[in-house]
Amino acid sequence: MNRAFLRRIFAAVCISTAGIAAAQTYPDRPIRFIVPFAPGGTNDIVARLSGARLAENLNQSVVVDNRGGANAVIGTEVAAHAQPDGYTLLMVNINFAINPAMMAKLPYDALHDFAPISLLATSPTVLVVHPSVPVNSVSELIAYVKANPGKINYSTSGSGSSTHIPMELLISLTGMRMTPIHYKGGGPALLDLLSGRVPLGFTTILSVQQHLKSGRLRALAVSTARRSASLPNVPTVAESGVPGYEFVGWWGVVAPAKTPPAVINRLNAEFVRIQREPYMTDHLGQEGAEPRTATPEEFAKFLRAETAKWGKVARDNHLRFE
pLDDT (0 to 100) of residue 22: 57
Task: Specify the domain boundaries for CATH 3.40.190.150 within the chain.
Answer: 3-123+249-316
In this prediction, residue 230 carries a pLDDT of 86
Mean pLDDT for each 10-residue chunk of the chain (322 residues)?
Answer: 56 51 81 89 87 96 92 94 98 92 92 97 94 97 95 90 90 93 83 96 86 95 92 95 93 97 98 94 83 97 94 82 66
The CATH class for the domain spanning 3-123+249-316 reads alpha beta
d(CA 27, CA 85): 10
According to DSSP, residue 65 is labeled E
Backbone phi and psi for residue 280, each to the nearest 5 degrees, phi listed first: -70, -40
* Helical axes 94-102 vs 73-80, angle rounded to 10°: 100
Distance separating alpha carbons of residues 266 and 28, to the nearest angstrom: 14
Q: How much is the pLDDT for 316?
A: 81
Closest Cα partner for 153 from 172, 180, 175? 180
Measure the CA–CA gap between 145 and 46, rounded to whole angstroms: 35
Per-residue pLDDT reduced to its tens digit, 243-256: 999 998 899 999 99
The CATH architecture that domain 125-240 belongs to is: 3-Layer(aba) Sandwich (3.40)
- pLDDT for the residue 313: 82
- What is residue 108's predicted lDDT score, i.e. its pLDDT? 97
CB neighbours of residue 38 within 10 Å: 16
pLDDT of residue 9: 57
Q: Where in the chain is the domain with CATH 3.40.190.10?
A: 125-240
Q: Which residues of 283-310 are buried (b: 16+ CB within 10 A; e: fewer)?
A: bbeebbbbbbbbbbeebbebbeebbeeb
Q: Which among 77, 119, 127, 121 is positioned nearest to 99, based on CA atoms? A: 77
